[in-house]
Amino acid sequence: MIKDNNSLIDFLNAKVEEYNRPSFIKDDPICIPHLFTKKQDIEIAGFFASIFAWGGRITIINKSKELMGLMDMAPYDYVLNHKEKDLKKLLHFKHRTFNATDLLYFIEFLKFHYTNHNSLETAFAKWMKPGDENIEQGLIGFYNYFFSLEDVPQRTKKHIATPQKKSTCKRLNMFLRWMVRKDEKGVDFGIWDNIKPAQLICPVDLHVARVAKHFNLLHRKQTDWQTALELTEYLRTLDVNDPVKYDFALFGLGAVEKYY
């Protein structure tokens, strides 16, 4: 029984320890970037796995593995060096509302970016200013940059979120957690250096929001960008340098344990 705030903090810390461990990986979309060791492969695999992360985790993992197979399990090499004929095998790929039209644009953007930059980190970090409290400007800049190429399919815009449209940006915030958070637990990668873990925003979906409201960590009725900010502000009171580690606790309690 959780009787007071200290008991709640102890409970959440224990849940972080329970879920932030290698045994968590195999049943979570983060298992997809864990198939790789090259930084750029990890980034690309993680990006697609996070974008696909709505619906059941088994389906998300299977569709992400299917796409990596279509890229010959070398996504960075595929993105940079594919020929027109190599794209044909992508034409039947589909995950929920994400289809080949979307996939081909994603590949085009990634080729454009990696031709000019060594890491996907710059696609987010270059829009941020020193002293930014959080990743908001990075997410807004990434959205505008991602859709800056010619002939953007209008339908593809729904697959990348932005705070400007009041989205929680759950999938991108999850991807950023994977790339930025640094610890010795072996789950998150911590391969980016220009964004600090303290600047991350907690990924919020319905499961996380329900758990947060159950514990009175959230009071906002709708689930939007302000909700993600409100929750993260509370989590900063628990750990100012690494607030988003509590995503492990909130997600585990919500999606795995149905604790609400």
Residue 257 has pLDDT above 90, yes or no: no
Please give the single-letter amino acid code of residue 172.
Answer: L
Please give the single-letter amino acid code of residue 75.
Answer: P
Here the tokens at position 107 are 């590949």
Here the tokens at position 161 are 């979120």
Mean residue pLDDT across the chain = 95
Residue 55 has a pLDDT of 85
User: Which of helix, strand or coil describes residue 11?
Assistant: helix
Residue 29 DSSP one-character state = G
Here the tokens at position 185 are 């637990």
The dihedrals phi and psi of 95, each to the nearest 5 degrees, come to -135, 110
CA count, 13 A, side-chain hemisphere, 251? 22
Share of residues in the chain with pLDDT > 70 (%): 98
Measure the CA–CA gap between 32 and 29, rounded to whole angstroms: 6
Measure the CA–CA gap between 59 and 71, rounded to whole angstroms: 18
Residue 136 has pLDDT above 70, yes or no: yes
Per-residue CA distances from 189 to 114, 126, 177, 249 (Å): 20, 20, 9, 18
Measure the CA–CA gap between 33 and 29, rounded to whole angstroms: 8
Q: What is the pTM assigned to this prediction?
A: 0.96
Q: What is the DSSP string of 232-254?
A: HHHHHHH-SS-GGGHHHHHHIII
Residue 54 has a pLDDT of 87
Residue 2 has a pLDDT of 59
| DSSP β-bridge partners for residue 98 | 95
Mean pLDDT of 124-132: 95
Say how many domains are in the chain: 1
Cα four-point dihedral sign 64, 66, 68, 70:
negative
Domain that includes residue 30, residue range: 5-256
CA-wise closest residue to 163 among 195, 124, 114: 124
CA-wise closest residue to 208 among 220, 199, 197, 196: 220
Measure the CA–CA gap between 79 and 37, rounded to whole angstroms: 16
Burial class of residue 246 in the structure, from the number of CB atoms within 10 Å of its CB (0-12 exposed, 13-18 middle, 19+ buried): buried
Instruction: Tell me which of 20-24, 192-196, 252-256 is least confident.
Output: 252-256
Q: Write out pLDDT tens, residues 86-112.
A: 999 999 999 999 999 999 999 999 999
Residue 68 has pLDDT above 50, yes or no: yes
How many of the other CB atoms lie within 10 Å of CB of 112? 15
